[in-house]
């Protein structure tokens, strides 16, 4: 008798599918009530930092350069108050095989698949990670399937997404192309079940642990060159793995006082699962359309428990505008001689503004760059925006309306890092706990779990739960 492959049936089998696809039982980490043992889940990776760094270096990943952006720093200081203007550095992750930091995640996942005897790997991604998994699979002789949401319902795709599709296929992967909608993760789960391949999801412990080497490396490099840890590290934030892994790596390097700042492009008002809005955005990742839902409820991923949990690690969260990101992308090329993809430059845009608030002797590091290419370049993305009715203007970026206008700053002084209310995000997380678990009462264990998830006091958590008439036992 054929298995029921409906959306509901596949999701009911999620835990069993995941167990077969990684040989990890997520049920082993569950605690009584709503919580789970996060560190126990992460320990399932089984590799030390030295192990992971060796695995990555053996496959053309890691040990990327830390580069000072002297000219962009000088430009930031032009607009900063006297004595302000921190030194801006980038960790040039475009030097990795496949051209982004996601090669770090892929290297560990594919290595684990190879060791466990899987014949292939599958990932669900808009592209950069798929390219990374495909490249690592090619190196290690495994088959690869990439499930990619790349079109609206008229089969029109963004240049950036189509470029990522091309590179995945260039590395030998089979790319399953989908239109926008809720079927991405369901298709992914169905293929895992059908093929028996390894789950190389972005959100597994292996994927997050792979990024820990990035945070570890940049702390060590900064220490070796300047005798101190970075004062701040800015991470482009979408699904949360980039920030979570980097922060964990900083902690493992002993850089516990380094401020971890998340940065996303402000696409408020656009719905990421909307066919109408899908091609109205000019960056496919690094924006609030992914980031806010994952910040406030990480377990919406394709794993029963997501290993990317940003509120555990993020000290500040800022947003920037699309026009500002494209402006800084061009500035990086013209002023520094580095042409890198716009999505990775989200954090550089934020760092340009944040550096102006910091002292001159401080160091702020943009922890990743990404490759650029035909569809990922600024010009095709701007052309596509115009074709979809988005006006491209010069003016005040604060007047930008996602999906309607894309506003380049008339002057670099207009570029800002706009603070997102972290307390609001934490309150939203508590609300989602109550809603998704149908909570009417909470144990002390539940309260402690939420405290760890959002890094807040017991008083804060209890007060939020009481707003929804949840009794704390």
Neighbours of 297 (CB within 10 A): 17
Span 289-308, average pLDDT: 93
Q: What is the pLDDT of residue 473?
A: 86
Residue percentage of the chain with pLDDT more than 90: 79
Please choose, from the candidates 294, 353, 279, the residue with its C-alpha nearest in 3D space to the C-alpha of residue 319.
353
**Taking Cα atoms as reference points, which of 233, 190, 287 lies closest to residue 90?**
233
**CA 3 to chain CA mean position, Å:** 34
Output the pLDDT for position 37.
98
What totals of helices (H) and strands (E) does the chain contain, helices first?
A: 19, 15
pLDDT digits (tens, 9 = 90+) for 217-268: 999 999 999 999 999 999 999 999 999 999 999 999 999 999 999 999 999 9
pLDDT exceeds cutoff 80 at 279: yes
pLDDT at position 6: 79
Q: How far apart are CA 426 and CA 461, in angstroms?
A: 9
Residue with tokens 């991604």: 125
Q: In angstroms, rounded to a whole number, what is the distance separating the alpha carbons of residues 194 and 105?
A: 24
- Model confidence pLDDT, tens digit, residues 368-392: 999 998 888 889 899 999 999 999 9
Residue pLDDT, tens place only, 94-146: 999 999 999 999 999 999 999 999 999 999 886 789 999 999 999 999 999 99
Q: Could you tell me which of 89, 93, 123, 359 has the C-alpha nearest to residue 233?
A: 89
Mean pLDDT across 31-45: 97
Q: What is the pLDDT of residue 154?
A: 86
Question: What digits encode the pLDDT tens for the residues 145-176?
Answer: 999 888 888 888 888 888 888 899 999 999 99
* Choice between 297 and 14, residue whose per-residue pLDDT is larger: 297
Which residues lie closer than 8 Å to 303 by C-beta, 6 or more apart?
18, 26, 199, 201, 203, 204
**CA-CA distances (angstroms) from residue 164 to 27, 128, 271, 399, 463?**
35, 6, 22, 31, 45
């Amino acid at each position: 008798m054929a298995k029921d492959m409906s959306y509901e049936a596949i999701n009911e089998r999620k835990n069993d599918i995941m167990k077969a696809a990684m040989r990890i039982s997520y049920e082993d980490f569950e605690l009584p009530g709503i919580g789970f043992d996060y560190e126990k889940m992460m320990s399932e990776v089984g590799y030390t930092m030295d192990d992971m760094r060796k695995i990555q270096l053996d496959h053309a990943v890691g040990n990327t350069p830390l580069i000072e952006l002297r000219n962009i720093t000088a430009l930031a200081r032009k607009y900063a108050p006297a004595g302000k203007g921190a030194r801006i550095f980038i960790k040039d992750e475009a030097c990795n095989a496949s051209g982004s930091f996601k090669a770090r995640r892929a290297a560990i996942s594919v290595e684990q698949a190879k060791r466990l005897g899987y014949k292939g790997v599958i990932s669900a991604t808009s592209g950069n990670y798929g390219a990374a998994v495909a490249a690592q699979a090619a190196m290690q002789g495994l088959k690869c399937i990439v499930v990619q949401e790349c079109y609206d319902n008229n089969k029109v795709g963004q240049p950036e997404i189509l470029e990522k599709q091309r590179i995945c296929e260039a590395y030998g992967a089979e790319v399953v192309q989908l239109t926008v909608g809720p079927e991405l993760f369901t298709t992914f789960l169905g293929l895992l079940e059908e093929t028996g391949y390894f789950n190389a999801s972005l959100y597994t412990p292996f994927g997050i642990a792979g990024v820990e080497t990035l945070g570890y490396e940049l702390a060590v490099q900064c220490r070796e060159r300047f005798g101190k840890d970075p004062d701040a590290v800015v991470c482009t934030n979408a699904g949360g793995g980039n920030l979570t892994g980097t922060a964990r790596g900083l902690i493992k390097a002993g850089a516990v006082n380094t401020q971890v700042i998340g940065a996303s492009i402000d696409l408020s008002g656009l719905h990421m699962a909307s066919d109408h809005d899908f091609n109205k955005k000019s960056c496919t990742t690094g924006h609030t359309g992914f980031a806010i839902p994952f910040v406030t409820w990480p377990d919406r991923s394709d794993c029963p428990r997501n290993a990317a949990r940003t509120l555990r690690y993020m000290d500040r969260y800022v947003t920037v505008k699309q026009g500002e990101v494209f402006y800084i992308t061009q500035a990086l090329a013209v002023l520094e001689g580095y042409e890198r993809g716009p999505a990775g430059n989200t954090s550089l845009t934020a760092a340009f503004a944040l550096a102006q608030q910091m002292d001159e002797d401080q160091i702020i590091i943009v922890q990743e760059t990404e490759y650029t290419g035909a569809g990922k370049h600024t010009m095709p993305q701007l052309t596509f925006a115009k074709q979809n009715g988005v006006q491209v203007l010069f003016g005040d970026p604060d007047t930008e309306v996602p999906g309607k206008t894309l506003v380049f700053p008339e002057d670099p002084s207009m570029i800002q890092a706009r603070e997102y209310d972290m307390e609001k995000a934490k309150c939203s997380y508590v609300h989602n706990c109550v809603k998704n678990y149908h909570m009417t009462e909470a144990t002390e264990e539940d309260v402690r779990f939420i405290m760890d998830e959002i890094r807040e006091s017991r008083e804060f958590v209890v007060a939020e739960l009481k707003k929804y008439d949840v009794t704390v036992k």
